[in-house]
Amino acid sequence: MPQPSDQHRMKGRVRSARPAVAAAVAAGLVLAATGCGSGSGSGSGSKASGGPVNLTYRIWDSTQQTGMQHIVDAFQQANPNIHVRIELVANKEYWTKLQADATAGSAPDVFWMNGPNAQLYESNKQLLALSSNVLKQNGVDLANYPAALNQLYNLGGTQYGIPKDFDTVGLWYNKKLFDAAGLKYPDASWTWQDVQNAAKKLTDASKGQYGILAPPYGQENYYDTIFQAGGYVIAPGGKSSGYAKPEAQAGLKFWSDLVKDGYSPSLKSMTDTFAAQQFESGKIGMYYAGSWNCMEFSKSDTIKDSVDVAVLPQGVKKATVIHGLANVGYAKTKHPAEVEKFLAFLGSKQANEIEAKDSGVIPAYNGTQQAWVASFPNFHVQSYLDELPYAVAYPTSKNTSAWQNQEAAVLAPAWDGGEDIGTAAQQLATMMNTALSKEQ
């Protein structure tokens, strides 16, 4: 789903890496970062065969399978000559199997793609290019999706994926703890200073209570504050790291200081127990969490009636990272015309409305998200949508995992108090620049 954040993308959607965190710790790192195929065939734009066609659609999330099947059923009703079989592959095996199948020329006709892997698959010529003519012929208008989401799948000026869903990040807060401390609830006017002030007042060591959770998570935490500080993770063009810049370091320091000041549990505590689970204990005042956590919190007997969510507080400016999955076609499919038709339907308003009701994710098609909002009446999840005007695309490169999987491990000493955050950031920039140089 990329970083730890992609729990639901990879939702897990950048969606996944949480188990990797625990594995890395066990290995000595304090915390780690975040059917049959179609075979080769003619290129995009070929005419439909006219006869019955069988397509395979690969996904990784069992909780979305029912919703995806409802979408497939609707597509097949309108296109009786095209049969689509959903193939579920567990998240932990998805990328390994997909890469092996794509390399062997036997990948599924259509499959889920995430931002961190898109450039890699495109550079290996494994994704079906969707020209403007192809999109137009199939009734696809990219203006119907968030611009930052389209950006993740537009490579070299060519579109390779049609957005499926997305996630942004919001500030969750425990109303009971805020009430007890006599604090006003977070709102759109909040800044970093408001977070720091509230975290201090909400912390009560004698009760094992902390003002905020500040784990070294990318999408949920320091990516957002880096952009809010006016910095960037990776420079436009993907050739250099932004971690050596003072703005990026300010975004990191926001979080490491919260741990240093004792307003957050220790790094070890956040390593031993997932942050979301700690928030559900009812002893944490605030938590930056992705929209994929809404379902979990709504089912928690401990906090479901005592928490809510607001937009992220701003630094120098407002920003939130947006990530989302896209549906893509295999470059070597034998049925490109049928794949293009199916991709167009998957990206349609009709399919997104089905997804909003049945899959528990925020659909990508603009104007279809209210069904998702309505599914969480006890929370102000509209906050996740209110952030779209200033959403920033999840940072990726051709080989994202080469540097991203090392981020939290390099930053861990600063989170643990043993190293200056500027020193750790410089080390991260050096490592990342080395990795990026190998992509050129």
Q: What is the pLDDT of residues 82-132, one digit of tens each?
A: 999 999 999 999 999 999 999 999 999 999 999 999 999 999 999 999 999
Give the pLDDT of residue 49: 55
- Structure confidence by residue, pLDDT tens digits, 360-383: 799 999 999 999 999 999 999 999
411 forms bridges with which residues in the sheet? Answer: none
Which residue shows structure tokens 């991260």? 428
- Structure confidence by residue, pLDDT tens digits, 403-429: 999 999 999 999 998 899 999 999 999
For the cut 50, the answer to whether the pLDDT of residue 34 exceeds it is no
Q: For residues 32 and 18, is the Cβ–Cβ distance under 8 A?
A: no
Calculate what percentage of the chain has a pLDDT beyond 90: 85
Q: For residues 336 and 41, is the Cβ–Cβ distance under 8 A?
A: yes
For the cut 70, the answer to whether the pLDDT of residue 35 exceeds it is no
Give the pLDDT of residue 51: 75
d(C-alpha 191, C-alpha 201), whole Å: 16
d(C-alpha 319, C-alpha 325), whole Å: 20
Give the pLDDT of residue 360: 79
Q: How confident is the model at residue 5 (pLDDT cuts 50, 70, 90)?
A: very low
Mean pLDDT along residues 180-204? 98
Beta-carbon count within 10 A of 277 CB: 10
Calculate what percentage of the chain has a pLDDT beyond 70: 89
d(C-alpha 412, C-alpha 339), whole Å: 44
Q: For residues 44 and 32, is the Cβ–Cβ distance under 8 A?
A: no
Mean pLDDT along residues 234-260? 96
d(C-alpha 292, C-alpha 302), whole Å: 18
Closest residue by Cα to residue 32 from 210, 218, 208: 218
pTM confidence score: 0.87
Mean pLDDT along residues 226-240? 95
Q: What are the structural domains, with CATH classification, of the chain?
A: 35-167+324-374 (3.40.190.10), 169-318 (3.40.190.10)
Give the pLDDT of residue 202: 98
Q: What are phi and psi of 241, to 5 degrees?
A: -80, 155
Q: What are phi and psi of 212, to 5 degrees?
A: -160, 160
